[in-house]
Structure 1
Amino acid sequence: MTAPLRRSEAIVVDVALGERAYDIVIGRDALTSLGARIAALRPGARTAIVTDRNVAKYWLEKTEAALHQAGIAACRIVVDEGEGSKTYAGLERVSEALIAARIERNDLVIALGGGVVGDLAGFAAAILRRGVDFIQVPTSLLAQVDSSVGGKTGINSPQGKNLLGAFHQPVLVIADTAVLDTLPPRQFRAGYAEVAKYGVLGDEAFFAWLEANHAEVFKGGAAREHAIATSCRAKAAIVARDERETGDRALLNLGHTFGHALEAATGFSDRLFHGEGVAVGMVLAAQFSAALGMIAESDAARVERHLAEVGLPTHLQDIAGFAQEGLADADALLALMAQDKKVRRGRLTFILLRAVGRAVIAADVAPAQVRDFLQAKLAARA
């Protein structure tokens, strides 16, 4: 598999959900088309842009300019960056601001930011006046390939990640690859974990392409757009088959059962970005699959090697403050996993591997097996 030649036109990926279908528009400077696309999609709509302080510095005025050029009215709602905004208090603030701005059911909420802003603004749109349409303008790699697509919105509870939320599909996604130029390297690496995930869970050829071309993805250009488009197509296909995660869509949670527990243990802080938790979680899922005899040790090592090569954490001990807050305690981590959304009647569900490129849903995993596995991992690296 090779990346396509450099292209000037946008790549459009269709999310085929019948009357709720929408496009993902991918390309450099795609943001400039936002106003024209809204004018065609929702003539006469007013908009409210929800963003965070950091993104606002770089992209809020450009977004407003694109809307103004098309004669579209817009107000701005700016929140603090980071998971601290994805809370009850953050939801209240955004919701009340939307009501004060008189955003009506025929208007649009625009989520301009990374996964936190997308989840928060999307959830606020889902509950405002019992449902207002929204548009995702993801500004992080992670959001462009994962959280902006598929309609999952929500906030965190002190007891766990994304435990409050709703399925609320956007009506349009604009993934402007130029915005990634202002993304800090650590944030880009964290997003790359979700790109690699699509190869690991369902496309070994794409994973092999990433092994050979990841440097070009990090540099930008055609390789980056190819990686983003391939990831979006993979997610769009799964979402079209299983919009509300009653079956195959759970495969997208590869690495997340472990990863969400690690994020909770670190207080949803900058000590561990979501993509970093997914990277560690993917390695643990691959190693757990090997421990259960589902894949060869060499397959698990291949996943670990690639993620480590791009600079992602791959072990529990790679997390800042590893000895704190239960990260070195298998039972404490297991207790956090018990709050995972995929738990059914107290039994754990994991996404495991039959091969690199072939993930499976493993329901009813015995907690004792997970505890023994984690204790062995902790002991091996002590």
Structure 2
Amino acid sequence: MGSDADQRLFEAVYRDDESAAERALADGADPDAAHERLRVSVLALAARRGCEGIVERLLRAGAGVDPVGLRGVTPLRCAVVGGYADMARSLLTHGALAVEPTTNGSVLTVAVSFLSHRSRPANLTVLRLLLEAGAAPAPGEEAPLITAVMLPHAPPAAVRLLLAHGADPDQRRSDGAPAIVLAARRGDHALVDVLLAAGAEVDAQDRHGRTALMHAAERNERRVLGTLLLAGAAVDTVGADGMTAPHLTRGWLEHHHGLESGEERAARGEVPVVRSTVRLAPAGLRLAADERLLRLLADVVDTAVAGLGDDEWERRACKNAGLARSFAVRLRDGSAPSADGAWQQLDITVDELAVVRLALDTLVHGRSTVPNRLELADLLDELQRQHHR
């Protein structure tokens, strides 16, 4: 902020006073003025604060749409996050997309991701404007459809919009999981229906040979099962681990009665099932899973604690690192078969649940390379959804 006029221009932005901003520009304020302390341009600050009228005036005065500041804050990204459709349209018209950096991810992925928190019509309009302008994911990012399907609260309207702009309904995640499998795992029958209506292959298999029907059967997602069966999903597909949807359903029935999946009700008796999910029991905190998954969670806890170090782990968890290591030992050695042998189960405390969630979050969202990051992301997602039910 070099001049008095520049100072008045920033003050006008803080008050969202369009007339004052116009006067400051008329008095010689620099439309590209940068805030020395915040390290942000006046245009980006106006965009962040939702001052759409001031943004329009700055653009008419010749403000550049390039990022200013160490964090690469851009006016377009501010408009996208805020869901300011008219502002985004003006910025795109002035070439903002062409100078948008991708070091912190693409603005398209930001637009899709924020629909989980803000699914207002304006946010969908912003996404449409970006798609029409040719926005694309950055190298290494998942396809926008996959990002949308994996959102905690994926709005079907966003998926329809992506499909209308050329997204492949059979799009696969980088680990080979089809979008319809990801939607089925999450129990999102609305997204499964949207994908099927767009032509998604109902029997598409993930890298383990499992279909959406098999994942829905394992998780007792009844509405998803109904949607898939009505679409003609095959019940006899065999996964790489030898499982079929009816087999997984029978495994579920060993603990939970009443689900049918194309076969007669299963008889009682131990049913060996290869599982791809962990489960929190509704009564108390009981973790149930295959031995392999429990060992995987133990490795996750040990790796996260070792990677962060005791001091950083304790700062984040507000708990002694020894608790985490002891829990890892219990995950490996402390489980016991359930009464019918369908699960390995382990009674855990609230603190131990927090340990495994923090460890998963650390590896999934951390900077270090993790070979099975997507599998860990799926496990974290399932624990989060069950814990909040």
TM-score (norm 2): 0.26
- Whose radius of gyration is greater, 1 or 2? 2
Q: Which has the higher contact order (CA 8 A, sep 6+)?
A: 1
Q: In proportion to residue count, which structure has more strand?
A: 1
